[in-house]
Structure 1
């Protein structure tokens, strides 16, 4: 940093006091600047910019007996100014960003309706539907867990899904995709 002559330069003694101040405070100021900017290079630039502004007024600041406070205030104000100027530019949305998103409340409501409808089924049918479609077990694994035949799992799952479809047709205009009958 150049501390020689110029509009705001002080006497030789003031310049030496300023150099001493910079040597003593560089580490703590850099730490503060890093916390303000989050980047080492930007932090160094911030400290240098703040010290340059401070040097212009060094004669008045050092008499106030709190140059550290002044420099930190300059750093905060400068960092804020940089942040405002470097705000991100708006980026246009991609076509994929504008795709409609399912209503989260409707999904929760459907889930609650599904659980309520499931609880109205016989316990064995509930168990088969839960193991097959919620736990994603195969028909054979479901039969093994329940101690019944694969045919019993298939028939009870089919009857249980049919009853759930009827329940959802009564309560909602569009049943969840998992319960819709596939076209044949």
Structure 2
């Protein structure tokens, strides 16, 4: 039980901007969900679900999340390199709107969608941890999901211990890296 409690604790982190604890997990029915545990002065849970202290938001799987899509390859290979934290705090209204819409997908170093590296590998953990300057152990990155195709699209936010921040994607790094790979002997 102590190990289980430690595992759950390690998945949780606080958000000072919302003062909530956030966890991305799979429930007993093998459905992905984001759980929010709210403090006394926080309105996030009531704004999302109408409950004062806890809110579970279902996260449907996306069509290009299972398998070896180029999008997932980029996400896991280039997290913290091409996908970066802007340092700009996300507007709570924008975060709530996305979560209420259901048109999102979350990723972390513990994502089962990772086909690039070992589950929760040191390299993957370090790349995700670089997104948060406050030492967040397991940052959660949220992407838009296309309503029409149900595929992962643009990166939006990262959940860190000290808040939620806007994310940015720059394909310049990917293009430069791939160009350099063509020019090597190996």
Query: Above 0.5 in TM-score?
Result: no
Which has the greater radius of gyration? Answer: 1
Higher helix proportion, which one? 1
TM-score by length of 1: 0.26
> As a proportion of its length, which structure holds more strand?
2
TM-score by length of 2: 0.26
* Larger RCO, structure (CA 8 Å, separation 6 or more): 2
